[in-house]
Amino acid sequence: MSKQIESTPRQDGFRMPGEHEPQSAVWMIWPERCDNWRYGAKPAQSTFVEVANAISQTTPVTMVVSVGQFENARSMLPEHIRLVEMSSDDSWMRDVGPSYVVNGDGERRGVDWQFNAWGGLLDGLYFPWDKDDAVAKKVCEINQDSSYRAPIVLEGGSIHVDGEGTLYTTEECLLHPSRNPDMDREQIEQVLCEYLSVDKVVWIPSGLYNDETNGHVDNLIHVVQPGEVVLTWCEDPSDPQYQISRSALDALETQTDAKGRRIKVHKIPMPGPLYITDEEATGVDISDGMERVAGERLAGSYANYLVSNDQIIYPLLDTKYDSEMEAILNDLYPGYRVTGINAREILLGGGNIHCITQQVPSI
């Protein structure tokens, strides 16, 4: 029986598991927003189908879809992908879905963060966002999991955890005035520790260059295992990402994790730089908040992959580096299935494979 709980996960003995731990499902949301996805989201829908199919090789997938798109999604998705009719404002399940926590007794609960479309009225990407803000609680209801309504604005893509007490985030995002302007770093840390049962927050100064989410950490790094991360690396001194990556490396290598370990950092190549083409820009409706114009630099990153039950689903973004990234992932995740998806269409919408998915841990 699902209900909203008034205590906190830490008080109740729940913690957020790492992405490398066993999962019972992955949830996604079907894209259709015409001022974000080009040509009525048809190219993006095909890519979402590919991602869902890839994940379903190792993990059951549930796709949230609006009433207007239900029949279309059902015709495009194979029968083993479950569809759930639900309203949303766009399709970023990582950011609007629940962050799940578990305890040692086989129980699972969701953390329902407040969502304001990456910045609210200050610099959010769209308005309104109330349907998105309701998604996490609905997912918990459907899963019959109880939930906690957290007291801060936060998106799931702005945090990574290792499952052993360490959380990674960026100052650029969590300390941005468009999220929780009345709270300082210590107060935000306290909420993170209380609602995810983490003991150490590792702060990285900035996220990827030109990331419209105000620098989500999942577009810059990924946690391989406790004490070990990959970091998007740029070798071109004239590129703005060059110094961002070096500042991130310095932050990671000069801190220890919750268990006192030095953090091992693996550098991964940065694709591109990649830009929206004239042809890609023509198919998108005009938007107040999202820059979908020709020449706009895309925040492309190989770090934006999903780990799910001994499988890596990663974005193919640049033929110069795709195979190198595959080799790196095979080396870092021995015994895992490594699946590449041509993810340009997701990137054009402002994120990637990690951003459009949210895992539900096994219990």
pLDDT at 290: 65
Amino acid (1-letter code) at residue 137:
K
pLDDT at 87: 98
Percent of the residues in the chain that have a pLDDT greater than 90, as a whole number? 91
pLDDT at 1: 65
pTM higher than the cut 0.95: yes
Contact predicate 113/96, CB 8 Å? no
pLDDT at 196: 98
Q: Where are the alpha helices (DSSP H) in the chain?
A: 9-12, 42-55, 70-76, 93-96, 120-123, 130-133, 135-143, 171-174, 185-196, 240-253, 278-282, 322-332, 344-348
User: Which residues in the chain show pLDDT less than 70?
Assistant: 1, 287-291
Angle, vertex CA 211, rays to CA 206 and CA 213, nearest 5: 90
pLDDT at 289: 62
Catalytically active residues are: 355
pLDDT at 340: 98
pLDDT in tens, 105-149: 999 999 999 999 999 999 898 899 999 999 999 999 999 999 999
